[in-house]
């Protein structure tokens, strides 16, 4: 059973600041790592995927992966009120179809 | 942009009744999934489906649950005899294949069992 742990928050940041989200996972066989954004009452929306150690940037989002430390993070730069949501970390392994999700970190961006 | 669709958006049923939740995965995707999320809890994997058979299922996916691809586009989840604890959001997802492929989620069906 893969365990995926996230700080539940809430994380409150002022508009324009950087929001930093953390995720740890228990299964060393995990190969693929995803960040989903979930607005209240809505479905998870994929915002980032990362498979190799290091950083991956996409617009205002940067994902960081450290497999040795079993740690993946998400940075949101220039946070906007529209970024207010719950961010879900999800992992799977190369031959494992299912995604294992963390409980999510709720982010509130203050205008 | 292609997307996963689900119907109905909200289903209310009486305990003990059968419900069928419907999904249309993205057309060129080969792997289909059902997840559920009880209010305030994690998204949980239920089942994955490939080549007209179940690839993997969780402990939640007991004999009360079944999945089917009745035609070339629909993917359904049936709950035979609903319980109060089946009340949740049910999400369908799909992707191209195994390995690192991203999964894309439908909007969900909110199931309320009374």
pLDDT in tens, B21-54: 999 999 989 999 999 999 999 999 999 999 999 9
For chains A and B, CB pairs below 8 A equal: 61
pLDDT of A93 reads 80
* A73: nearest Cα among A22, A34, A32, A6: A22
Neighbours of A74 (CB within 10 A): 24
**What does the pLDDT look like over A95-111, one tens digit per residue?**
777 999 999 999 999 99
Whether the CB of A75 is below 8 Å from some CB of chain B: the reply is no
**What does the pLDDT look like over A59-92, one tens digit per residue?**
999 999 999 999 999 999 999 999 999 999 999 8
pLDDT of B31 reads 93
Query: How far off is chain A from B54, nearest CA to CA, in Å?
Result: 11
Torsion B13-B15-B19-B25 (CA) sign: positive
Q: Which residue of A has its CA nearest to B91?
A: A43
Whether the CB of B43 is below 8 Å from some CB of chain A: the reply is yes
Model confidence at B1: pLDDT above 60: yes
CA B107 remoteness from chain centre: 11
Q: Do the chains contact at B56 and A96, CB–CB below 8 Å?
A: yes
Contacts of B103 in chain A (CB under 8 A): 34, 46, 99
Q: Do the chains contact at B98 and A45, CB–CB below 8 Å?
A: no
């Amino acid at each position: 059973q893969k365990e995926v742990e996230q700080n539940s928050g809430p994380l409150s940041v002022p508009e324009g600041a950087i929001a930093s989200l953390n995720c740890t996972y228990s299964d060393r066989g995990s190969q693929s790592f995803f960040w989903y954004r979930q607005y209240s009452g809505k479905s998870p929306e994929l915002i980032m995927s990362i498979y190799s150690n290091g950083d991956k940037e996409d617009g205002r989002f940067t994902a960081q992966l450290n497999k040795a430390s079993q740690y993946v993070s998400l940075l949101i730069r220039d946070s906007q009120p529209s970024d207010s949501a719950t961010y879900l970390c999800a992992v799977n392994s190369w031959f494992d179809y299912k995604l294992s999700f963390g409980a999510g970190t709720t982010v509130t961006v203050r205008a | 942009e292609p997307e996963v669709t689900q119907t109905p958006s909200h289903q209310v049923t009486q305990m003990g009744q059968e419900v069928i939740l419907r999904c249309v995965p993205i057309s060129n995707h080969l792997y289909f999934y059902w997840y559920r999320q009880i209010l305030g809890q994690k998204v949980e994997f239920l089942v994955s489906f490939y080549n007209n058979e179940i690839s993997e299922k969780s402990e939640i996916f007991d004999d009360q649950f079944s999945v089917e691809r009745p035609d070339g586009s629909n993917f359904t989840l049936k709950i035979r005899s609903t319980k109060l604890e089946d009340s949740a959001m049910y999400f369908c997802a799909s992707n191209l294949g195994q390995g690192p492929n991203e999964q894309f989620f439908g909007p969900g069906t909110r199931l309320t069992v009374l």
